[in-house]
Amino acid sequence: MSDEVLPEELISEILRHALHAPPDVFLDPAHDRAWFARPDAPPSPLAGSALLRVSRRWRRIGTPLLFAALWLSRAAHTRTVLRVLRESPALGALVRDLRLDGGFVPELRDAVALMPGVRNVHLSWVAGKGHDTDGLWEVMPMLRPRRLWLGTADFVEEGRQELVRLMNLLATCFVDSWDTLEFVHLIHWYPMLRVIADALQHAPALKTMSVHAEDVYNWSWSADSLSFLDNPSLQTILCRTSENLRAARDFLEKRGVKKRITDRLTLVSEGGPLQAASAPQQRPEVFEGMRMIRI
């Protein structure tokens, strides 16, 4: 069938299925670019963008869909996006999901300023020699995320002090700038510094956090690291684990995690809801508070 015969509505639907990745997938720190390049990877802007080369018509229809979710990881990415958005400002208004794990050049500020509709954000960084983070200083307070995925926060060589300053900036944003932030996902082994825990405790709109069970155990050695649990607006703490329900509960309780903490956890597997070891397999279960519930 000729390209010109296909109605635009059908082309748009084809491209939507090929390009769209839910923010929980696209922004998850566990999913790097190699993960999206796998043959069995779900649809995403990374793999599906090849369809825009079918024809000029497909490119015209698909470009707005492609800009719904952007991933910037290199300086060249940031500068290219800025150039495109300056030429077509309407595309910037379409961006909803923004993944930032590099490309933190000064031009990033101007690019983000042209994306007023961003609601879901991923932030990862490495501080130190060879890793430019200058663009983050102005950009982080500019963002107004409702949902935030935090990935790598690390340093190399002489970057320790820069990392500390970035974490302090992040803490300030939690309290003073991000008054619409409702959800925070932390990568496994995220450094729960006291300044971050205290800031999360006072994040005004925070309702849900997603953390790893092993991290909760590690943080439980210090009351300071778990101060975020006392945020009065926090309703749900999703506790990710690869264990089954019973093993995950034992993992936390046998290692001294207090009941006041486990009472506020909902245990979920990293690949989906957990199942109890002896439970029937036809319906998934999760552990909420101290109760078993069906979903």
Alpha-carbon distance of 98 to 111, in angstroms, equals 11
Q: Positive or negative CA dihedral for 127, 130, 37, 111?
A: positive
Tokens encoding 44: 């995403």
User: What pLDDT sits at residue 252?
Assistant: 80
pLDDT, tens digit (0-9, with 9 covering 90-100), for 228-283: 988 999 999 999 987 776 777 777 888 777 777 777 788 887 655 444 333 333 33
DSSP string, the chain: --TTTS-HHHHHHHHHHHH---HHHHT-TT--HHHHTSTTPPP-HHHHGGGGGS-HHHHHHHHHHHTTEEEE-SHHHHHHHHHHHHH-HHHHTT--EEEESS--STHHHHHHHT-TT--EEEEEEEEBTTB--HHHHHHHHH---SEEEEEEEEE-TT-HHHHHHHHHHHHHIIIII-TT--EEEE-TT----HHHHHHHHT-TT--EEEEEHHHHHHHTT-GGGGGGGG-TT--EEEEEESS-HHHHHHHHHHTT--HHHHTTEEEEETTB----TTS-SSS-EEEETTEEEE-
User: What pLDDT sits at residue 15?
Assistant: 74
User: What pLDDT sits at residue 48?
Assistant: 66
User: What pLDDT sits at residue 271?
Assistant: 59
Ranges of residues in the chain with a pLDDT under 70 are 1-4, 48-49, 52-53, 245, 270-295
Alpha-carbon distance of 287 to 134, in angstroms, equals 42
User: What pLDDT sits at residue 64?
Assistant: 84
Paired sense of beta strands 285-288 and 265-269, if any: antiparallel
User: What pLDDT sits at residue 272?
Assistant: 52
